[in-house]
A = this chain, B = another copy of it.
């Protein structure tokens, strides 16, 4: 498989964690979203891969290109069911997917670069953009804190779909200076993931396109 990825993109980071948890090898094809002269995601070469001009995109072993991290992760779960990311009972699966949706729908789209770029175009300065981001990240993480469990990862002893979404979101929270102090369950999960080889491998600090 080949993954079009950007080291700091949280949705790329999700897919990298899913691949690493499942022990799947892939070739990283970095797309520099802030390349001098224009992000590579807007260049013809990448638009031919993904017309939406977003990362990640996954080329499967069969040569098909998949887009949108929620769809890619569900594909990996169905195609490579070993090391499952979802529980076997339907209720827990729904809870895991609810956490994924809080992060993937209610938090991340509001601080994605396209969104904050438009806010800047509309005259909002860095302080206001940080306030905007902080509003959505705090509100969303408060919901996640209530949804996840009291021990282990988000839903038990092994990491799963909710953790795949949460850990990249926490990386973004830190980058945007949102405090995690009032989320003890989330901080517990973060501490576990910090020691886990798959999360370490997928971390933005450890990618081929990570700046020196």
State the 4 A-B residue pairs at the shortest beta-carbon distance, nearest first: A71-B97, A68-B101, A68-B98, A109-B109
Are A100 and B124 in contact, with the CB atoms below 8 A?
no
Closest Cβ neighbor of A106 among chain B residues:
B109
CB-CB under 8 A from A72, the residues of chain B are 94
Q: Are B110 and A132 in contact (CB-based, < 8 A)?
A: no
- Specify the main secondary structure of chain A where it touches its partner: helix
C-beta contact mask, A43-76 vs B, less than 8 Å → 1, else 0?
0000000011010000010101011111110110
Is A78 an interface residue, CB under 8 A from the partner? yes
- Is residue A93 within 8 Å, beta carbon to beta carbon, of the partner chain? yes
Of B79, B93, B124, B128, the contact of A75 (CB 8 Å cutoff): B93
Residue of B nearest to A108 (CB): B105
A146 surroundings in chain B (CB, below 8 A): 51-52
Q: Which of the residues B52, B62, B64, B101 comes within 8 Å of A102, measured between beta carbons? A: B52
Task: Please name all residues of chain B whose beta carbon is closer than 8 Å to the beta carbon of A67 when the two chains form the complex.
Answer: 98
Residues of B within 8 A of A104 (CB): 70, 101, 104-105
- Is the CB of A115 closer than 8 A to any CB of chain B? yes
Interface assignment of A212: CB less than 8 Å from any CB of chain B? no
Report how far A135 CA is from B114 CA in the complex, Å.
Answer: 11
